[in-house]
C-alpha cells in the first residue's frame, strides 16, 4: 500500500530542515491557550477539591458561596449526572456521592476575578464521612481491600478492557504462552526479583489551562492546551449530552504535553461550569501545585519477575506479575495495563510466558498516559532481570542480549510475527559507543565507576482503528496549506509533515505551511497526538493528500497541454513534461485553473488534496491467553547505555557518557529525531535520579519544583552519542516509525544496571537519589 | 483593591499602566499590557518561564510586584529583536535547535541575553549555571547550551 519508497527520498524528506514554528517561538509571538485574551466578560473558575483520599459525600452547602458578590455560578456533582472516560467510563466530572482521591473536584465557582473565586471556595461546606482507603495496589487487588468502585460492573467499557466487578481490578490482562510451570525444569539458571517504580508527574512547563464558552445558539467552544482536541470534543460532548458537531475545540500551541494533555484531564471542568453561565467565557488555569497533585500521573508499578534460561544462555521462561497503581479511576490506566501485558517480555523471545497485568484502583491520583505508556516502568524491571540472568549464566550482558533479543520473523509473546527490526544493530552501536567491555578507572579514589545498558521496545498503544486524515490546499500566492488534526507539542510534527508534502509534490519546502491552532470545526480528524503515532499515521494521511493534490495538478495541465498525465512530473515547483519538454509553475494552476486557448472557457479550479489512514489489520487478543494474530501495528526498538561515576562521600551519580540508538524506520528529519532522543534521555534520567511523588496517606508531600526536582541545565551528561538506525516499516511513510516516547523508556533500567556495575548493589527502584545510593553503600559496607 | 498608576519603560517605550497593588509584574505584563510572550509556568519563582530583564538584571517576573517597577526599565522577549533583526541569542538558539514546545524559550532567551551582557565569552559551566533557574522539559538543554555558545561568537565584541 505504501505510496512511498524507502530507497528513494524526494528532497526535502530525510533532510534536517529548520522547524516551521521556531521564529514565532523565539520572538514571543507563538500563541498558547492562556495567551488568548477574552476581554472583560471572562470569568475565572476555581475548584473545590476533596481533602480526603476516600470518603462519602454526605452533603454540600453552596449557599454562602453563591451570595458572595462577584460569584456568578457554583456547581457540584449534582449538576452533571453522566459519567466520562476514555476507555472504562468510570468517572464523573465532579464527584458524586463519593470522593476517591485527594484533589478530586467536588464543586466549582466561577467569578469575575480569581481572587473572588478562591474566596468563595472557602465558603462551600462539604460534609464527608471518611472511608477506609487503599494505597497499595497489591493489597488493593486482594479480596480484603475495601471496594473503591462498587458499581464497576455497570460501567461502559470497550471489548478489549476486562474489569473484574466485585474487586478493585479495573483491567486484568493475561498472557499464557507455552507451559511456564514445567519450563523451569529446562532452565539452568533462574532469577527472581521484585521492583517498585514510584509515581512521577509529567511536569510540562505550561500548566493545564482551558477556557469554555456556551453561545446562545447552543454551540460550545473550548480553547485548551490539548494533545487531543477531537477526543476531548467526543468525550466531553457525550458526557454533557451535547452533539459533537455543536462542540468546537480550538487548540493552540501546547507548552509541553508528554501525555498529560491527552484524553480529558481537567478540560471538562470549565465546559461543565460554562454550561451554567451561558454567554460568558470561563477560564480554568491550574496552579503549579494543582498541576502536581490533581492531574493524571504516571502510575506506580509493583513488578514481580521470575526469569530463566538454559545452559547455553537461551531464554526459556518468564513469569511476570504487574500491579499497576491505577488510582481513583482510570483514564488511560486500563490501557497502560494492557500495553504492559502484551509487551511484558520486553524485546526478548521466551517460548513460555505467564503474565498477569493488573490495573488496580487505589485512592491515589488517577493514572494517565506518560511518555512511554508503561514501558519505562516495565523495562526497569525486565532489563535488570536480564542483566542478573546474564551474570548468573556467566555470559557477557551484550552477548546475552544479542542472543535473545527479538529479530525479524520471530513469533513474539502474543503470537504476532515480528516485522524487520534493527534492534541487534542498535545494541551493537550502543556497545561500541560506550566502549563496552573496557572498564575505565575511576577519576579519583573516592569514586566508583560503572557501565550499564538496556534495550526497549514499544508499540503505539491505541484502539485498533485509530485514524488520521489530512487536506492539502492551495493559497492564491501559490503556497500550500496543509490541514492536519495532530498537534505540535514540541516534537516538530508540523515540520515533518511539511517536508513530506514538499517531497511528494515536488515543491520547495518554503512553499508549505502547517500551522495551528487546531480547530475541530475545520481541521481534518485525528484521533489523538499520542503513542508516537503521528509521523507514521498522520504522515501516511498527509502523503495521501499530497499525492492526490499532485495528481489533480497533473491532470489539469495534461489536459491543457493535450498530453498524458503519466508523462508529466513536478520538480522544484515546476510542472514539466518529459515528452514535450514544456514547463509551468505549480503556482499558476493551484487556485485559478488554466484558460483554454483564446480564453474560450477554463479548466481546473481550486485544488484540495485529501488523504486518510487507518490501520485495518490489528486483531483482538484472547482474554484468557493474550494471543492473537496481530496485537499491534509495529514496534520501535532501541538501546541505551550509560557510563557513570558514583561519589563515595555523597552517593551522587554523575553520568559521564551516554549512548542511544533507536530504529526509527526512516528519519524524516534527522536533527529532529536526535532532538527527541536528547530530550527524552534527559527526561528519563531525571525520572531515574530525582523524581518521585511522595504520597503519604494519599496526600502529595512535594507539589512544587523545590520539592519535586526535575533535571536542570547543570544535571545533564557531558557526552551523548546518538545513532539513528533505519530498518524501514512496510506501511510507514518512506518507512518511518515514531520516536517521541522511546528515548526515555530504557533510561532508568540502563542507569540501574550501571549502578550495579559500579557498586554491586541493586535497589528496589528509582529514584536513585544520592541519599538512597549513599545509604545503600553504607549498608553494604562499601563506605564507612 | 488599590490600583496604582505607574510609569514604566518596557522594551524601549515609556508606558503608563494602571496596576492593582497586589499584582505581580508577570500579571501586569500579560494581562494589562498584552505582552503574553512572557510565560506563567509556576507563579512561584521556581521555573523561570517568566524571566524578564529588570533594570538590566534577569528576574522572575512572578516574584516582583508591578508597582515596584515604577520608573523601571524592563525588557521582555518581545523586545529582544529590533526592526525584524533577531538578537544573536534568538538567532543562535533557533539555529541550534534549542526550541521544542517553546514555552520555556522566552525566559531562556532573557537569561541568555543577561549572561552575554555580563560576559562575552562564557564557559560551558557558566552557561549551565546561568540557565539553572530556567526549567526545560523538552530539549534536555543540550541545544540551548550550544546555541548560547554560538550566540557568543555571533555577538559583536
In chain A, where are the structural domains located?
Answer: 22-30+466-613, 33-131+208-285, 373-462+620-779
3-state SS class at B135: coil
For A408-486, list the strands marked E by DSSP: 447-458, 468-474, 480-484
**Which among B36, B80, B100 has CB closest to A679?**
B100
Report the residue of A19, A26, A112 to disrupt the B interface, i.e. the one with the largest count of B CBs within 10 Å: A26
A678 and B77 in contact by Cβ < 8 A? no
Q: Which CATH number fits domain B3-77: 3.30.530.20, 3.10.20.30, 2.40.50.140, 3.30.930.10?
A: 3.10.20.30
**Which among A205, A207, A679 has CB closest to B135?**
A205
pLDDT band for position B157 (cuts 50, 70, 90): low
- For B136, nearest residue in chain A (alpha carbons): A205
How far is B113 from chain A, CA to nearest CA, in Å?
13
H or E element that contains B19: strand B13-20
User: Given a cut of 60, is residue A761 above it in pLDDT?
Assistant: yes
Q: In percent, how much of chain A has pLDDT > 90?
A: 98
Residue B123 neighbours by CB distance under 10 Å: 10
Active site includes A741? yes
**Which among B44, B86, B142 has CB closest to A26?**
B86
Cβ proximity of A190 and A310 under 8 Å: no
Segment B73-119, tens digit of pLDDT: 999 999 999 988 999 999 999 999 999 999 999 999 999 999 999 99
**How is residue A701 written as a grid cell?**
508531600
What stretch(es) of chain B map to CATH 1.10.150.120? 88-154
B141 and A682 in contact by Cβ < 8 A? yes
**Which among A25, A288, A683 has CB closest to B42?**
A288
Across chain A, mean pLDDT equals 97
C-alpha span between A147 and A134 (Å, rounded): 9
C-alpha span between A249 and A232 (Å, rounded): 8
H or E element that contains A72: strand A71-76
A681 and B138 in contact by Cβ < 8 A? no
**How is residue B124 written as a grid cell?**
560551558
Segment A244-260, tens digit of pLDDT: 999 999 999 999 999 99
**Which among A30, A680, A716 has CB closest to B102?**
A30
pLDDT band for position A291 (cuts 50, 70, 90): very high
Segment A7-57, tens digit of pLDDT: 999 999 999 999 999 999 999 999 999 999 999 999 999 999 999 999 999
- Residue-level pLDDT at A1: 43
Segment A658-685, tens digit of pLDDT: 999 999 999 999 999 999 999 999 999 9
Enter the CATH code of domain A373-462+620-779. Answer: 3.30.365.10
- Do the strands A220-224 and A247-251 form a parallel or antiparallel pair, or are they unpaired? parallel
**Which among B40, B90, B100 has CB closest to A675?**
B100
- Per-residue pLDDT, averaged over A158-164, amounts to 96
User: Given a cut of 60, is residue A2 above it in pLDDT?
Assistant: no
CATH topology of domain B88-154: DNA polymerase; domain 1 (1.10.150)
Closest CA to A78 of A91, A95, A63, A90: A95
Report, at the CATH architecture level, how domain A22-30+466-613 is classified: 2-Layer Sandwich (3.30)
How far is A693 from chain B, CA to nearest CA, in Å?
17
- Cα A151 to its chain centre, rounded Å, is 29
Residue A164 neighbours by CB distance under 10 Å: 15
A25 and B99 in contact by Cβ < 8 A? yes
Segment A82-108, tens digit of pLDDT: 999 999 999 999 999 999 999 999 999
DSSP string covering A246-269: GEEEEE-B-S--TTTTSS-SSTHH
Segment A299-325, tens digit of pLDDT: 999 999 999 999 999 999 999 999 999
Closest CA to B151 of B80, B87, B77: B87
- Do the strands A594-595 and A602-603 form a parallel or antiparallel pair, or are they unpaired? antiparallel
Q: Is there a shared CATH topology between the A33-131+208-285 domain and the A373-462+620-779 domain?
A: no
A287 and B43 in contact by Cβ < 8 A? yes
Segment A368-390, tens digit of pLDDT: 999 999 999 999 999 999 999 99
B86 and A287 in contact by Cβ < 8 A? no
For A328-367, list the strands marked E by DSSP: 352-361
A490 and B101 in contact by Cβ < 8 A? yes
pTM: 0.98
Interface contacts A/B by beta carbons within 8 Å: 157
How far is A712 from chain B, CA to nearest CA, in Å?
6
What residues of A are in contact with residue B145 (Cβ under 8 Å)?
713
A205 and B81 in contact by Cβ < 8 A? no
What residues of B are in contact with residue A712 (Cβ under 8 Å)?
131-132, 135, 141
A28 and B100 in contact by Cβ < 8 A? no
A207 and B99 in contact by Cβ < 8 A? no
Cβ proximity of B99 and B105 under 8 Å: yes
- For A204, nearest residue in chain B (alpha carbons): B137
C-alpha span between B80 and A717 (Å, rounded): 31
pLDDT band for position A718 (cuts 50, 70, 90): confident
Segment A745-759, tens digit of pLDDT: 999 999 999 999 999
Query: Over A484-532, what HEC string results?
Result: ECCCCCCCCHHHHHHHHHHHHHCCCHHHEECCCCEECCCCCCECCCCCC
- Per-residue pLDDT, averaged over A225-239, amounts to 96
C-alpha span between A122 and A448 (Å, rounded): 54
Segment A484-536, tens digit of pLDDT: 999 999 999 999 999 999 999 999 999 999 999 999 999 999 999 999 999 99
CB contact set of A235 (below 8 Å; sequence gap of 6+): A84, A85, A86, A263, A264, A268
For B47-113, list the strands marked E by DSSP: 51-54, 57-60, 73-75
How far is B150 from chain A, CA to nearest CA, in Å?
16
**How is residue A206 written as a grid cell?**
505550561
Domain A33-131+208-285: CATH superfamily is Aldehyde oxidase/xanthine dehydrogenase, a/b hammerhead (3.90.1170.50)
Report the residue of B61, B84, B103 to disrupt the A interface, i.e. the one with the largest count of A CBs within 10 Å: B103
Cα distance between the two ends of chain B: 48
Amino acid at each position: 500500500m505504501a505510496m512511498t519508497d524507502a530507497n528513494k527520498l524526494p528532497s526535502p524528506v530525510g533532510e534536517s530542515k529548520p522547524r516551521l514554528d521556531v521564529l514565532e517561538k523565539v520572538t514571543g509571538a507563538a500563541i498558547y491557550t492562556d495567551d488568548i485574551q477574552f476581554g472583560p466578560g471572562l470569568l475565572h473558575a476555581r475548584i473545590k477539591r476533596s481533602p480526603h483520599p476516600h470518603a462519602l459525600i454526605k452533603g454540600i452547602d453552596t449557599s454562602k458561596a453563591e451570595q458572595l458578590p462577584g460569584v456568578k455560578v457554583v456547581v457540584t456533582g449534582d449538576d452533571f449526572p453522566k459519567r466520562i472516560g476514555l476507555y472504562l467510563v468510570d468517572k464523573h466530572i465532579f464527584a458524586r456521592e463519593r470522593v476517591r482521591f485527594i484533589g478530586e473536584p467536588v464543586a466549582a465557582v466561577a467569578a469575575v476575578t480569581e481572587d473572588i473565586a478562591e474566596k468563595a471556595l472557602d465558603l462551600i461546606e462539604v460534609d464527608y464521612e471518611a472511608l477506609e482507603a487503599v494505597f497499595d495496589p497489591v493489597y488493593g487487588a486482594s479480596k480484603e481491600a475495601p471496594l473503591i468502585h462498587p458499581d464497576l460492573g455497570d460501567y461502559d467499557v470497550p471489548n478489549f478492557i476486562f474489569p473484574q466487578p466485585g474487586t478493585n481490578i479495573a483491567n486484568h490482562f493475561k498472557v499464557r504462552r507455552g507451559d511456564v510451570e514445567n519450563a523451569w525444569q529446562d532452565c539452568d539458571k533462574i532469577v527472581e526479583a521484585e521492583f517498585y517504580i514510584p509515581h512521577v508527574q509529567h511536569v510540562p512547563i505550561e500548566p493545564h489551562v482551558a477556557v469554555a464558552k456556551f453561545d446562545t445558539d447552543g454551540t460550545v467552544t473550548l480553547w485548551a492546551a490539548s494533545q487531543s482536541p477531537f477526543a476531548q470534543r467526543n468525550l466531553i460532548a457525550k458526557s454533557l449530552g451535547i452533539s459533537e458537531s455543536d462542540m468546537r475545540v480550538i487548540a493552540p500551541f501546547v507548552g509541553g504535553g508528554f501525555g498529560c494533555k491527552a484524553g480529558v484531564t481537567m478540560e471538562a471542568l470549565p465546559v461543565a461550569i460554562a454550561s451554567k453561565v451561558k454567554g460568558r467565557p470561563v477560564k480554568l488555569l491550574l496552579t503549579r501545585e494543582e498541576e502536581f497533585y490533581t492531574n493524571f500521573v504516571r502510575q506506580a508499578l509493583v513488578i514481580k519477575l521470575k526469569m530463566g534460561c538454559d545452559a547455553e544462555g537461551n531464554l526459556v521462561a518468564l513469569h511476570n506479575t504487574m500491579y499497576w497503581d491505577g488510582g481513583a479511576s482510570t483514564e488511560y490506566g486500563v490501557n497502560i495495563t494492557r500495553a504492559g501485558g502484551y509487551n511484558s517480555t520486553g524485546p526478548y523471545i521466551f517460548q513460555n510466558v505467564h503474565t498477569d497485568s493488573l490495573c488496580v484502583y487505589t485512592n491515589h491520583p488517577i493514572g494517565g498516559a506518560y511518555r512511554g505508556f508503561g514501558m519505562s516502568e516495565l523495562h526497569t524491571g525486565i532489563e535488570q532481570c536480564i542483566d542478573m540472568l546474564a551474570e548468573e549464566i556467566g555470559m557477557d550482558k551484550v552477548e546475552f542480549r544479542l542472543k535473545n533479543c527479538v529479530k525479524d520473523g520471530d513469533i513474539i509473546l502474543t503470537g504476532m510475527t515480528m516485522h524487520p527490526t534493527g534492534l541487534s544493530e542498535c545494541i551493537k552501536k550502543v556497545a561500541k559507543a560506550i566502549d563496552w567491555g573496557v572498564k575505565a578507572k575511576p577519576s579519583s579514589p573516592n569514586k566508583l565507576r560503572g557501565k550499564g545498558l538496556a534495550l526497549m521496545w514499544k508499540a503505539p498503544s491505541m484502539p485498533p482503528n485509530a485514524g488520521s486524515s489530512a487536506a492539502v490546499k492551495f493559497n492564491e500566492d501559490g503556497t500550500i496549506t496543509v490541514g492536519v488534526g495532530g498537534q505540535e507539542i514540541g516534537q516538530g510534527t508540523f515540520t515533518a509533515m511539511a517536508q513530506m508534502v514538499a517531497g511528494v509534490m515536488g515543491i520547495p519546502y518554503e512553499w508549505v505551511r502547517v500551522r495551528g491552532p487546531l480547530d475541530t470545526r475545520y481541521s481534518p480528524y485525528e484521533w489523538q497526538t499520542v503513542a508516537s503515532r503521528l509521523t507514521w499515521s498522520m504522515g501516511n494521511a498527509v502523503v495521501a493528500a499530497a499525492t492526490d493534490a499532485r495528481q489533480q495538478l497533473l491532470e489539469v495541465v495534461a489536459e491543457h497541454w493535450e498530453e498524458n498525465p503519466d508523462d508529466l512530473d513536478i520538480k522544484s515547483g515546476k510542472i514539466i513534461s518529459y515528452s514535450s519538454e514544456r514547463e509551468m509553475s505549480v503556482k499558476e494552476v493551484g487556485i485559478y485553473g488554466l484558460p483554454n486557448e483564446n480564453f474560450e472557457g477554463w479548466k481546473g479550479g481550486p485544488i484540495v488534496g485529501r488523504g486518510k489512514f487507518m490501520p485495518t489489520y490489528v486483531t483482538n487478543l484472547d482474554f484468557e491467553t493474550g494471543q492473537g494474530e496481530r496485537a499491534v501495528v509495529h514496534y520501535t526498538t532501541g538501546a541505551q547505555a550509560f557510563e557513570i561515576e558514583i561519589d563515595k562521600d555523597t552517593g551522587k551519580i554523575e553520568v559521564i557518557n551516554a549512548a542511544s540508538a533507536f530504529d526509527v524506520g526512516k528519519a524524516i528529519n534527522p536533527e529532529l529525531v536526535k532532538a527527541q532522543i536528547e530530550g527524552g534521555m534527559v527526561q528519563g534520567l531525571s525520572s531515574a535520579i530525582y523524581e518521585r511523588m511522595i504520597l503519604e496517606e494519599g496526600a502529595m508531600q512535594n507539589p512544587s519544583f523545590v520539592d519535586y526536582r526535575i533535571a536542570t541545565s547543570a544535571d545533564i551528561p557531558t557526552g551523548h552519542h546518538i545513532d539513528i538506525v533505519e530498518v524501514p516499516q512496510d506501511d510507514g511513510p518512506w518507512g518511518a516509525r515514531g520516536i517521541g516516547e522511546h528515548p526515555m523508556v530504557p533510561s532508568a533500567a540502563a542507569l540501574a544496571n550501571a549502578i550495579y556495575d559500579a557498586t554491586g548493589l541493586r535497589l528496589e527502584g528509582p529514584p536513585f537519589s544520592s541519599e538512597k545510593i549513599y545509604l545503600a553503600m553504607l549498608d553494604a559496607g562499601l563506605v564507612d | 483593591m488599590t490600583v496604582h498608576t505607574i510609569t514604566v519603560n518596557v522594551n524601549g517605550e515609556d508606558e503608563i499602566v494602571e496596576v492593582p497593588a497586589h499584582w505581580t509584574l508577570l500579571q501586569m505584563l500579560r494581562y494589562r499590557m498584552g505582552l503574553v510572550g512572557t510565560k506563567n509556568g509556576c507563579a512561584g519563582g521556581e521555573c523561570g518561564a517568566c524571566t524578564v530583564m529588570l533594570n538590566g538584571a534577569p528576574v522572575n517576573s512572578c516574584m516582583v510586584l508591578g508597582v515596584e517597577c515604577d520608573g523601571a526599565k524592563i525588557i521582555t522577549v518581545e523586545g529582544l529583536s529590533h526592526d525584524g533583526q533577531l538578537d544573536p541569542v534568538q538567532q543562535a538558539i533557533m539555529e541550534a535547535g534549542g526550541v521544542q514546545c517553546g514555552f520555556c524559550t522566552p525566559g531562556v532567551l532573557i537569561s541568555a541575553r543577561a549572561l552575554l551582557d555580563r560576559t562575552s565569552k562564557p564557559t560551558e559551566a557558566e552557561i549551565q549555571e546561568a540557565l539553572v533557574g530556567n526549567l526545560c522539559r523538552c530539549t534536555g538543554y543540550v541545544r540551548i547550551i550550544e546555541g548560547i555558545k554560538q550566540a557568543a561568537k555571533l555577538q559583536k565584541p
